[in-house]
Amino acid sequence: MTGNLTLFLDFDGVLHPLWEPAPYNDWTLERIRGPKAYAGPFFVHAPILVELLTGYLSHIDIVISSTWGRKRDLATLQGLLPPPLAARVTDAVHHRLPLLGAIGQGKGFISRWAEIAWYREHIRPSIGNRWVAIDDDDSGWPAHAAVHLAHCNRDLGDPVSQRVVKEALACAC
């Protein structure tokens, strides 16, 4: 694994939508009732990620940073992904985080950034600056780490999100 780029991969809001589209494209109704959580099908954009990673896959270690890792073992997480991605999954952040009581007097982690930063510091310090996170959640990311975040404002079905991932990979490699 030495020398590989570590890719921290979120699922919700990246590999599939986070929210259902507004009914009948009625955004006023959505503002009144609030967004509805996406009910599936899941991982519909995983093949797009495989395409985006073509040329990089043999040099990438994927670490699942999604909350899906909280209640699923590594084999189950791998089984959710297409084989080219599954073969590169080496770990999941949530499998390594300490018990919440051991962190900040029980306050836990407040952001995805905090979880990834803790993982990098305590589990994989050898990755140094050779990492990228693909995530729809940019809360808590400090300015100095923003270069490592491929922030998807929408899932990978969106061409803008695809471009963001391509640019982040080009900068990291």
Residue-wise pLDDT for 88-105, tens only, equals 999 999 988 876 544 444
What's the pTM value of the predicted model, to 2 decimals? 0.86
Q: Which residue segments constitute the domains of the chain, with CATH numbers given?
A: 5-172 (3.40.50)
Helix and strand totals (H; E) in the chain:
6, 5
Query: Which range is least confidently modeled, 70-79, 94-103, 115-124?
Result: 94-103
Helices of type H across 80-158: 83-86, 112-122
The structure tokens listed for 152 are 């998807």
